[in-house]
Amino acid sequence: MEYVALLLSIISLVVAILAYARTGGIKEVKAQVSSLGTSVESVREKTADALGKVEKLIRGSEKT
């Protein structure tokens, strides 16, 4: 009975690998990570600009 369970798990692993490869596999994941990296960089720049403006507002109110 243990051998049957092992055989079924190996078959399901092979089917999962084939399905993963057929849907794009690693290439698609790398493209999505690259796209996400550019999006994160854009958001980081916008956040830095917003924090700079907030700093100017706070420091400006401290000086007066």
Range of the domain at 27: 2-63
pLDDT at 46: 92
pLDDT at 21: 82
pLDDT at 39: 87
Mean local confidence (pLDDT), 44-49: 92
Percent of the chain at pLDDT > 90 equals 38
pLDDT at 63: 58
Q: What is the DSSP string of 1-64?
A: -HHHHHHHHHHHHHHHHHHHHHTTHHHHHHHHHHHHHHHHHHHHHHHHHHHHHHHHHHHHHHH-
Q: How many domains are contained in the chain? A: 1
Whether pLDDT at 30 is above 60:
yes
Q: Is residue 52 very low, low, confident or very high in pLDDT (cuts 50, 70, 90)?
A: very high
| 42 alpha carbon, distance to own chain's centre | 15
